[in-house]
Structure 1
């Protein structure tokens, strides 16, 4: 349940914030930061309230006319106190061009009109500002009543630095405390052992600089890339792991943008960066410049030292193709040599589910696991080291441990990690440990994986046939280099008589990414069976279809409910089964709906609720394609009903309206009744679920007849 916030909650939050800064991160503060904190503490309460209100605003320029707060009884006095303490200041000449951005275009145009300054009404706001700056002096602007009463937050840079020390990023603001107290944002909880993010002022300062620079790159259209490239030589040396990583990421992103303008300048930036991606780009540029001998030597060095897996894969591949006349890349070779399966084209938008259905039709279990399963396994195995160690989490707002981001996780926790890995010597012991950990921490926020009700059950099921030696080996590699092995995991886990294997699914036109091949190779090196499964699209005559029709209490799935479900199952062109039930919607059925469908409150009062038939419905639909006339209506209602039960519903869909338009064009109406009349399809009891499903099944048979004869129609 959400909590109500106490009066002046924002001031309480600010004190919580600065108490952490002073007690935990005091050694990271410069004199200006201490001066800011002292100035705040010396203010009266009303002035403190006002300052916190101002700091919570996203803009640097404050319009005094917008300051209307009940707790600030004397605004002029509080503003005067803040000004006297140097926490705010009035606008200066260098401020006012930037201040203009806080006015509306209409306000700016009105001022231009007042001074009879020529401009075009089609001008955008920035162009209007430029006209003003060129035409009006600061003194003229400052004397105008419309531009009076503006203040600059003079303490903003100090405040942003403190925010960075607390949250570890330059995006978070103090409203995170309010979201926490309202129950909107989950945190690690007050029991977390707090610690400073940095050991020294130098670490904190350089990390803050590069965090800000990375943040600025999010708006590339506003940046002068040549100027940014020119200033690199004057940038401070990064101190500490976090700042070093940020510095390298900044150089990489900057170089990628500069490369569009000046490849030679970009090359010099890549050479300053320590990231594998920069080394790869650097070598590609050198090769394009004709430096073949240098490139070949550096490629050989990379292969010999066998560092980054991604860089090693690139080096081996580039050397083979550019210097040994190999025509295709390793990624292409792996994809071309992969096994192939034929899947019905109706799974084009959910290829993984199509392959799962393919295996299930042969009695083989296939589960869509992808990244979440492995991240959850890693997170639960090392939960205490990741989230309960004094070396991992700085405060309750942290989700992802910093040591995972900067690559220090294994070096900081090697002994504890090896102790956890020793649990894998005994499967029952390890499964018990995972169960205990998942039960204790279920729902706690983390930056690794998403909790879901079935997570533990699915995990234990997959672990039963797994080879623990291989798992132990792979988890150790993940711990040593989580950043390189946190994604790219195969889509499917397949379990059959031979054991367990992992498959990356690729549809026609898909490419195999480098990170996916790296992860596949690491899984194989650990001892797992892992590979790629290529899909060929076909029209499968044996594909199962469930033609569904529902009746409801109204047209909106968010507020209305299902009253009847009718399903016809079609396999190999034949209707093989039917399923029908009335459903108690647990709400009143409107009279016009009863007139339309014939379904009344009395008819459904003793019928099962959706929750009571959900299991049977899931079983009947399993392995099929969901078909309906205007499919998103029926599918959306059923998905919403499952969501009310906290269950996920996902199936491939086929819409008979869309497919009839495709294969049988030219009709004025594609409503079910009209199509049934045109094609002489029996429709005895329109607007009853099973009757409509029966008629829609006949449309499906017509559609599939066209599909099976390979009629070529543009999609």
Structure 2
């Protein structure tokens, strides 16, 4: 098994006008070192040709790769640090990396030419079609599409001598490299290549063959196929035509290797999107067929809601109610439990039965009437409630998650397959996947165990110092300073931290949000707990679902929390207005 030490940061100086080339070379070297066995012989040969290119030519190729599309007008490829574009282009053409005479269909021509140019180059065709001189680009394309079919050279479209278009012929490889480096196709090369990485610090994660996200070439192929289907769906192709083309799931895994779980999750998300789009388009039959094939967190509830809308008899409603009640015995998370409970109540009412009693506890509430303010209502409540012996801090979703992130740092940054693709992650790539916690359960248990014997105090203080400033999905350094940390450790009991952290682990994606706005510490209190959490609601504001779930949890666990309802004192506002 090969092991890859944490890579040294890309150190290209921004004073170097071609600093982006250093970053791009880092990407190429990283992918070859980590995934070289998943590249074909032709792909290795192409990368070898890249290595032999003059620096100015590779700079131009990098600039082209970072731009949108793969066809470019030569007069648009002008960069001061590259100089003569044609000279830089010649080695790219000779190496077969760029085609200097690509054939363009009408739509591609319209994407590259201005309206004025099109009116000149296609003047005879426009006249023959009887189009007015002021016709828009879209109107011209619509009218000429059926008449001018087939690809042509730019000159054959009527472009004058001297106008040139070039096409990158290595884009398929570049897309594959981009996927293998980032672990997704949302991020473009420019996001990394043009980044000044020295302004952000990252946790160093050890990489090994076992922690690679892709273990086989067909997994990369499957990802690219899923992405192509997603793009076609967004372009308007009907779900019914795309669903049969979906790559097979776990059945494609080799007999000696487990299925790629994170790739299966991605496939499940695409199936869910196909089902949602089918539902929007009125194809409820297809949607009903697709939802059960998706592992998306909302798929089961969506399937039951769809069945609810399609129910034609009490018998149908009863079978759906039974299915919902069965699902409620083992909901996948609190959000699903909440949605299932609402579905259960609706179906019970439809069948003329009493609704099931509401689950959970009503939160404690108190009211404040404050002078009207143009600032944030949370700040107004903080300033009103804070005293010298009982300070109040605005923390919202930063304090509890920050303490969790520090204590569980080793678990969060464990180098598991599909978690880290390169050395510049702000957090694990599988953070929002359903199995994020299950894959790290032992690591998390080890971290939480320190809450039982008091070791957590020194661990949190030490990790606050050691990791300060490193990117993390849970720790927001601007909101967590040493003073706030010490107050939290002094006033929040370890048993409360444990239950709060355990709930975060139930669904990290959903439960990182919805935490109360304020925390008030009471360090001089003789008995625990010496704090309370406060959710602030201004006039007309209502509790959101995730906030309700957290408040119900606080009540169940004995965590002190309350909802503060604020009304503005109109008389104060009127008095101040009169004085002004």
Pick the TM interval, shorter chain. Answer: 0.7 to 0.9
User: For the Cα contact (< 8 Å) 1:385–1:416, is it kept in 2?
Assistant: yes
User: Which of 113, 136, 143 is matched with 1:103 structurally?
Assistant: 113
Q: Give the Å deviation of 1:70.
A: 6.5
Q: Say which SS state the counterpart of residue 166 (structure 2) adopts.
A: strand
1:432 is matched with which residue? Answer: 458
Residue 458 (1) aligns with residue 484 (2): yes
In 2, Cα distance between equivalents of 1:509 and 1:350: 14
Q: Say which SS state the counterpart of residue 478 (structure 2) adopts.
A: coil
Residue 119 (1) aligns with residue 119 (2): no
Residue 300 (1) aligns with residue 325 (2): yes
User: For the Cα contact (< 8 Å) 1:64–1:150, is it kept in 2?
Assistant: yes
Q: Give the Å deviation of 1:79.
A: 4.1
1:188 is matched with which residue? Answer: 202
In 2, Cα distance between equivalents of 1:182 and 1:487: 28
In 2, Cα distance between equivalents of 1:172 and 1:286: 37
Q: Give the Å deviation of 1:159.
A: 0.4
2:71 is matched with which residue? Answer: 61
Residue 700 (1) aligns with residue 572 (2): no
Q: Give the Å deviation of 1:95.
A: 4.0
Q: Give the Å deviation of 1:524.
A: 4.3
User: For the Cα contact (< 8 Å) 1:47–1:79, is it kept in 2?
Assistant: yes
In 1, Cα distance between equivalents of 2:358 and 2:274: 29
User: Which of 230, 242, 255 is matched with 1:231 structurally?
Assistant: 242
Give the alignment of 1:366-385 within 5 angstroms: 366-385=392-411
Q: Give the Å deviation of 1:120.
A: 4.3
Give the alignment of 1:353-432 within 5 angstroms: 353-360=379-386, 365-387=391-413, 389=415, 392-427=419-454, 429-432=455-458
Q: Say which SS state the counterpart of residue 425 (structure 2) adopts.
A: coil
Residue 499 (1) aligns with residue 504 (2): no
1:251 is matched with which residue? Answer: 271
Q: Give the Å deviation of 1:155.
A: 1.3
Q: Give the Å deviation of 1:350.
A: 2.4
Range with bigger deviation, 205-214 or 242-251 = 205-214
Q: Say which SS state the counterpart of residue 370 (structure 1) adopts.
A: coil
After superposition, the Cα gap between the structure-2 partners of 1:504 and 1:251, relative to the gap in structure 1 and judged at 3 Å, is farther
Q: Give the Å deviation of 1:361.
A: 7.5
1:160 is matched with which residue? Answer: 175
* 1:85-133 superposed Cα distances (whole Å, 9 cap, x missing partner): 4422356556442232122222223334465524346644333333343
1:620 is matched with which residue? Answer: none
After superposition, the Cα gap between the structure-2 partners of 1:540 and 1:9, relative to the gap in structure 1 and judged at 3 Å, is closer
After superposition, the Cα gap between the structure-2 partners of 1:215 and 1:539, relative to the gap in structure 1 and judged at 3 Å, is farther
**Any unmatched runs of 5+ in structure 1?**
544-658, 664-698, 705-715
In 2, Cα distance between equivalents of 1:453 and 1:340: 26
After superposition, the Cα gap between the structure-2 partners of 1:178 and 1:203, relative to the gap in structure 1 and judged at 3 Å, is closer
Q: Give the Å deviation of 1:178.
A: 4.7
In 1, Cα distance between equivalents of 2:354 and 2:377: 31
Q: Which has the higher contact order (CA 8 A, sep 6+)?
A: 2
In 1, Cα distance between equivalents of 2:246 and 2:375: 48
In 1, Cα distance between equivalents of 2:318 and 2:519: 44
2:254 is matched with which residue? Answer: none
In 1, Cα distance between equivalents of 2:82 and 2:378: 59
1:469 is matched with which residue? Answer: 495
Q: Give the Å deviation of 1:348.
A: 7.3
Q: Give the Å deviation of 1:235.
A: 0.7
1:442 is matched with which residue? Answer: 468
2:507 is matched with which residue? Answer: 481
1:262 is matched with which residue? Answer: 282
User: Which of 145, 164, 176 is matched with 2:159 structurally?
Assistant: 145
User: For the Cα contact (< 8 Å) 1:343–1:536, is it kept in 2?
Assistant: yes
2:219 is matched with which residue? Answer: 203
After superposition, the Cα gap between the structure-2 partners of 1:105 and 1:183, relative to the gap in structure 1 and judged at 3 Å, is farther
* 1:8-29 superposed Cα distances (whole Å, 9 cap, x missing partner): 4343333221111111112333
Give the TM-score taking structure 2 as reference length. 0.81
1:174 is matched with which residue? Answer: 189
User: Which of 39, 50, 58 is matched with 1:48 structurally?
Assistant: 58
In 1, Cα distance between equivalents of 2:397 and 2:227: 27
Q: Say which SS state the counterpart of residue 425 (structure 1) adopts.
A: coil
After superposition, the Cα gap between the structure-2 partners of 1:151 and 1:423, relative to the gap in structure 1 and judged at 3 Å, is same
In 1, Cα distance between equivalents of 2:23 and 2:221: 24
1:274 is matched with which residue? Answer: 295
Instruction: State the structure with more CA Rg.
Output: 1
* 1:39-73 superposed Cα distances (whole Å, 9 cap, x missing partner): 42354555434322322222321112333456768
2:5 is matched with which residue? Answer: none
* 1:583-631 superposed Cα distances (whole Å, 9 cap, x missing partner): xxxxxxxxxxxxxxxxxxxxxxxxxxxxxxxxxxxxxxxxxxxxxxxxx
After superposition, the Cα gap between the structure-2 partners of 1:530 and 1:230, relative to the gap in structure 1 and judged at 3 Å, is farther
Q: Give the Å deviation of 1:490.
A: 1.9
Q: Give the Å deviation of 1:367.
A: 2.6
User: For the Cα contact (< 8 Å) 2:100–2:167, is it kept in 1?
Assistant: yes
User: For the Cα contact (< 8 Å) 2:103–2:154, is it kept in 1?
Assistant: no
After superposition, the Cα gap between the structure-2 partners of 1:446 and 1:299, relative to the gap in structure 1 and judged at 3 Å, is same
Q: Say which SS state the counterpart of residue 537 (structure 1) adopts.
A: strand
Give the alignment of 1:609-624 within 5 angstroms: none
Q: Give the Å deviation of 1:317.
A: 2.8
Q: Give the Å deviation of 1:241.
A: 2.1
In 1, Cα distance between equivalents of 2:196 and 2:577: 57
Figure out how many residues of one structure are paired with residues of the other and give that number: 539
User: Which of 9, 25, 31 is matched with 1:21 structurally?
Assistant: 31
User: For the Cα contact (< 8 Å) 2:317–2:347, is it kept in 1?
Assistant: no
Give the TM-score taking structure 1 as reference length. 0.67
Residue 313 (1) aligns with residue 312 (2): no
* 1:655-693 superposed Cα distances (whole Å, 9 cap, x missing partner): xxxx7xxx7xxxxxxxxxxxxxxxxxxxxxxxxxxxxxx
